[in-house]
Structure 1
Amino acid sequence: MSDEKMTCFHQINLTDAEHAVFERVRRAQGLDSVADVVVWLAKVRLRKGVEHVTGRRRGPRLVTSGGKPQ
């Protein structure tokens, strides 16, 4: 498998009100496009979902003795 990202685009039809919300988020987060906002929001939601399921903010970490990598 290639190291390149596989990107698939889908068209999402937005109402004017929805587009205005996405535009406010875009400006607040300093993103380049509404498409970037959609991706950013999806990632945030996935992170929160994982945190809810695992009780941790990040993925599992390798446990080392003495707190130092071996």
Structure 2
Amino acid sequence: MTVIEYCREKTEVHELVIIREGGWLTCVAYIDCEDLFRLPPNIAHADVIDSSCDHIKVLDHQGTYVSVPCTCLDIK
């Protein structure tokens, strides 16, 4: 399954998807209410080799780090 297929078929509205290659964060997609999101073509068509649920630390508007749930996709 490719990244674009995974994001269209297996994610929910308002889900944050982290895409990693070789363990490094490569791209992030936020799934909005109309299933619209953009991905670079080379990432969109990459094969997903693993997926997992995780959390990522994000800096909020007050300068505080918060833990945000996300889905992590590992690609080839």
* Shorter-chain TM-score tier: under 0.3
Which protein has the bigger strand share? 2
Q: Which has the higher contact order (CA 8 A, sep 6+)?
A: 2
Rg comparison, structure with higher value: 1
Give the TM-score normalised by the residue count of structure 2: 0.17
Which protein has the bigger helix share? 1
